[in-house]
Amino acid sequence: MDLVSQSTLNEHLPQSGIPSGSQDKVTVLDSGPEMAEPQVAAAPVITSNLSVKAPEFYPPGYVQNFSQNFADSSFEDRYDGYLTLAEYVQDFLNHLTDQPACFETEIEQFAETLNAWVASGEDLQGLVELIYQQATSVPNFSYMGARLCNYLSHHLTISPQSGNFRQLLLQRCRTEYENRNAATRGDETTQKEFHAFVLFLAELYLNLEIKGTKGQVMRAEILQEGLRELLNALFSNPVDSNLICAVKLLKLTGSVLEDAWKEKGKSDMEEIIQRIENVVLDANCSRDVKHMLLKLVELRSSNWGRVHGTSAHTEATPENDPNYFMNEPTFYTSEGVPFTAADPDYQEKYQELLEREDFFPEYEENGTFLPGPGDPYFDDIDDEMDPEIEEAYEKFCLESEHTRK
């Protein structure tokens, strides 16, 4: 093997990116009977500085600062880096949107921070506005926003002349409520914002707790009346978007509203259902929306899907419990016709089913299958061991005996 010439080496070095000054460090292998083993240089380990919390891993528009602050610092330091109350509150709302499970563990400290920071009616008004905007503009935050409002209404200590937290919140909702008739006939954006407000108000009705004069916990009466008027406004302009919002509202609060109205001897829910049936017959809504309305009527006819248990002192029978046969199994006749214990001729059909020769294989009383002669699996069982397995088994037995001795 010929040696690599120095001129050839010089021509190759610039192309390889090796500095010319390091030529004396380049070893040219000598030819000979024994070649030195080539040494493979270890690839340098590249350490990335990219964090798993880098912006590249978050969707556009997402703010992750608050989550990082809560994960990386103690509570005392969590709001030191914020210049304004609005910035701190908004980051907490974003954090709660991303991790709703943190509500139980962090809401108490959040309220303590607000009590130390909110010092005026303007601050409290700004807090209400931020929560309202988050609850009506961020999908699926209306429920969490209502829970947050309920907690703050009981734990914020500031109560300026303009009103406490709950009073300012209801005033903010009234602003949208009074514009209901125009909003249901507005453009697409206006209707979308109004529908978000309706669903947030429904969540407030279900979650906002108010103490009565006797200390009992009750729902806000004013919200119940407001939801009734909002339903009237939605049905007054029965376009698809308004009707879909009404369906969502009734699915969410229908059972609670009807119970409250019945306690007062009102038949408001009957009137609403009648109005829905008229819409299905007369309105020019889409076929899918009509189907949604009919399903809603069906849901209400089943007591909003609620199943009431029978009295503890009364034995359940098919006569006094409409759900008596709910958990009964379904059987099939030889023709494939289904039947249950609720069918009048159940006993006759079930006896016929038992008399089928091949319906039940051989089972014990506890349901264990008993194979026997004639069973393919039973007949295929071979009692003889494979020679290799038998030899290994004997060896194992001898070793075990030796170990015991």
**pLDDT-based confidence at 156, cuts 50/70/90?**
very high
The residue from 306, 333, 359 where one domain ends is 306
User: In Å, what is the CA distance from 263 to each residue of 107, 211, 282, 330?
Assistant: 35, 19, 32, 39
Residue 351 has pLDDT above 80, yes or no: no
pLDDT digits (tens, 9 = 90+) for 168-218: 999 999 999 999 999 999 999 999 999 999 999 999 999 998 877 777 777
Is 350 found in the same domain as 289? no
**pLDDT-based confidence at 67, cuts 50/70/90?**
very low
Mean pLDDT, residues 131-156: 94
164 close to 156: Cβ distance less than 8 angstroms: yes
- Count Cβ atoms below 10 Å from residue 363 Cβ, excluding itself: 10
The residue from 250, 279, 306 where one domain ends is 306
Is 280 found in the same domain as 337? no
Please state, rounded to an integer, the average pLDDT across all residues of the chain.
77
398 located within any domain: yes
Dihedral sign for Cα atoms in the order 193, 196, 201, 202: positive
**For the whole model, what pTM was predicted?**
0.60
Q: Which residue has the higher pLDDT, 108 or 19?
A: 108
Please calculate the CA angle 60-65-71 and round it to the nearest 5 degrees: 125
Q: Cβ contacts of residue 239 below 8 Å, gap of 6+? A: 285
Residue 400 has pLDDT above 70, yes or no: yes
pLDDT digits (tens, 9 = 90+) for 220-258: 889 999 999 999 999 999 999 999 999 999 999 999 999
Mean pLDDT, residues 6-11: 46
Residue 396 host element (H or E): helix 387-404
161 located within any domain: no
Is 393 found in the same domain as 364? yes
Please calculate the CA angle 94-147-208 and round it to the nearest 5 degrees: 145
Q: What was the pLDDT predicted at 167? A: 93
107 located within any domain: no
180 located within any domain: no
**pLDDT-based confidence at 32, cuts 50/70/90?**
very low
101 located within any domain: no
Q: Which residue has the higher pLDDT, 67 or 242?
A: 242
Dihedral sign for Cα atoms in the order 323, 326, 331, 335: positive
364 located within any domain: yes
**pLDDT-based confidence at 28, cuts 50/70/90?**
very low
CA distance 128 to 126: 5
361 located within any domain: yes
pLDDT digits (tens, 9 = 90+) for 108-126: 999 999 999 998 999 999 9
Is 395 found in the same domain as 331? yes
pLDDT digits (tens, 9 = 90+) for 45-58: 666 666 656 666 66
pLDDT digits (tens, 9 = 90+) for 78-99: 555 777 899 999 999 999 999 9
The range of the structural domain enclosing residue 248 comes to 238-306
Count how many domains the chain has.
2
197 located within any domain: no
Q: Cβ contacts of residue 403 below 8 Å, gap of 6+? A: none
pLDDT digits (tens, 9 = 90+) for 276-330: 999 998 878 899 999 999 999 999 999 998 876 544 455 656 555 555 555 566 7
pLDDT digits (tens, 9 = 90+) for 357-383: 444 444 444 444 555 555 554 455 455
Output b/e per residue, 183-217; b: 16+ Cβ within 10 A.
Answer: bbeeeeeebbebbbbbbbbbbbbbbbebeeeeeee
**pLDDT-based confidence at 397, cuts 50/70/90?**
confident
86 close to 130: Cβ distance less than 8 angstroms: yes
Token representation of residue 334: 């030889």
Q: What was the pLDDT predicted at 238? A: 93
Is 330 found in the same domain as 386? yes
Alpha helices per DSSP H over 208-345: 221-236, 240-263, 268-282, 287-301
**pLDDT-based confidence at 388, cuts 50/70/90?**
confident
